[in-house]
Amino acid sequence: MKPFSRDTWVEVDLNAIRANVETFRGHLPKSTGIMAVVKADGYGHGAVHVAREALASGADSLAVAMLDEAVILRTAGIDAPILVLGYTPADSVETASRLNVELTAYSTEWIVSANQRLEQAELRPVGVHVKTDTGMGRLGVRTTADLLEVVAALENSAKLEWTGIFTHFACADEPDTTHVRGQHEMFQSFLQALREQGKKLPKVHCCNTAAAIAFPDWGYDTIRLGIGLYGLYPSPYMKERADVRLVPALSLKTKIAHVKTAVEPFTVSYGATYTAKPGERIATLPIGYADGYSRLLSNRGEVLYNGSRYQVVGRVCMDQIMVRLEPGLGQVDEEVVLYGKQGNEEISLDEVAALLGTINYEVPCMLNYRIPRVYVRNKEVVEVFHPLAMKHAPEKNVNN
Ligand SMILES: Cc1ncc(COP(=O)(O)O)c(C=O)c1O
């Protein structure tokens, strides 16, 4: 039985994930590790499969945004170090201990509360990375005094271990380096203050993809590689610089569900915003905004068919879109590429992001659980992951 019934799928090229990790490995000092950022289900690519490939290709640890994402990785049998980058309420610290997942901290109250809970439950200590806010204005301590207080609280906690210190850059992907250099200087001054207090620094990290590309010598103990892992550049400017060559890993594909030639003019989709002219071929594709193909692509998006570009016509529906093909073209079950390459043409996630007025990060993150992920290595399908899998369907005919 086919692992999914509707022919709409995301293809993830594991060779691309490997190539991207190896590219960063070659770009960075040998002493700098690679923490693969697989939050948001691996930026929509599938966290478990990307994590496995990244670890097999030279990454040595993983990062997620929240503890639940770490639970998924551990449940899948991944035993590499995992850091939760975001806030974890202290009442979830027992899970982190049981699963040996490191957490992020930036407040003394949290440290006291988390430590108490672990002591009461008599659980193993949890590793904690201290987050410093050097100019992102999000999570983290902003002053040396607060940093020293938080570190002292950690050192006084029997059930918490100070295992890391980090910061996150707000503007590392821009041509003007004033802000990122300012943030790095502040981070360095935090590190210096700790050294002056006689502290032995734990794992130090600050670089996201953009900073790792532009400032590889700021790698410290590890970079946190997110968007670059997936073969995407953090901004059009970073792509232009071309310091590293990345290979996009994700394609979005479907097959034609219906196709008709307009004999008389007919209107297409809700709101009748497009009228097919006589002779036009209108193909219906089984994907819509409920899959994460944005309604903002109505009458604007393009797809690849037969190696050429064709226009989305009419409004994107919840489960379907229509495209205009040339007269004579288009048969049911023929393949159409929505994102990715076909022949010599490519619809990049950068292009889609520009159409949507957003960044490439958001485009794969929008593709949701309705779409199966098909993992490909050396052009062969190696695994299919589909939360709506046919195996959950009743085995027997329900009428029997
Ligand atoms: C704290 C932190 N570190 C690293 C990353 C990875 O960033 P990028 O995807 O730009 O490499 C993110 C992603 O937003 C993040 O929030």
Ligand 1 atom, smallest distance to 172 CA: 10
Report DSSP state, residue 142: -
Residue 388: which pLDDT band, with cuts at 50, 70 and 90?
confident
Q: Let me know if 270 is a catalytic residue.
A: yes
- Residues 158, 160, 166, CA angle at the centre, nearest 5°? 145
Tens digits of per-residue pLDDT, 308-355?
A: 999 999 999 999 999 999 999 999 999 999 999 999 999 999 999 999
- 39 in catalytic set: yes
Q: Phi-psi category of 260—alpha, beta or left, where left has phi over 0 and alpha has psi -120 to 50?
A: beta
Ligand 1 atom with the shortest distance to the CA of 39: 13
The amino acid that residue 390 corresponds to is M
Q: What pLDDT, in 10s, does the model give residues 109-148? A: 999 999 999 999 999 999 999 999 999 999 999 999 999 9
Strands 61-64 and 82-84: parallel
Distance 208 CA to ligand 1 centre (A): 5
pLDDT at 395 over 60: no
Nearest in space to 97 (alpha carbons), one of 160, 144, 155: 160
Tokens 């006589």 correspond to what residue?
A: 278
pLDDT more than 90, % of the chain: 95
Instruction: Count CB neighbours of 113 within 10 A.
Output: 15
Cα dihedral across residues 359, 371, 380, 323: positive or negative: negative
Helix residue ranges per DSSP H, 215-308: 236-241
Nearest atom in ligand 1 to the alpha carbon of residue 229 is 11
- CA distances to 99, 186, 300, 356 from 352, rounded to whole Å, are 38, 36, 10, 6
More confident residue, 327 or 396: 327
DSSP 3-state of 86: coil
Token pair 């299919």 in the structure block, residue:
384
Gyration radius of the chain's alpha carbons: 24
Instruction: Report CA(27)–ligand 1 centroid distance (Å).
Output: 18
**Res 389: pLDDT:** 77
Q: Which of 39, 131, 159, 253 is catalytic?
A: 39
Q: Which two tokens stand for residue 207?
A: 């670089």
Residue ranges of domains in the chain:
60-228, 250-390
pLDDT above 90: residue 394: no
Q: Which residues line ligand 1 at a C-beta cut-off of 6 Å?
A: 37, 85, 168, 208-210, 224-228, 234
Indicate the CATH number of 60-228 among 1.10.287.1080, 3.20.20.10, 2.60.40.10, 1.10.3720.10.
Answer: 3.20.20.10
Query: What distance in Å separates the CA atoms of residue 111 and residue 157, rounded to the nearest whole number?
Result: 8
Other CB atoms within a 10 A radius of the CB of residue 235 amount to 20
Q: Residue range 92-121: average pLDDT?
A: 98
Q: 250-390 is classed in which CATH architecture?
A: Beta Barrel (2.40)
Residue with tokens 């594909």, as numbered in its chain: 253
Percentage of residues in the chain having pLDDT higher than 70: 97
Binding residues for substrate: 138, 318
* Out of 105-114, 128-137, 375-384, 390-399, least confident range: 390-399
For a pocket test of ligand 1, which of 84, 224, 361 has the largest count of ligand atoms closer than 8 A to its C-beta? 224
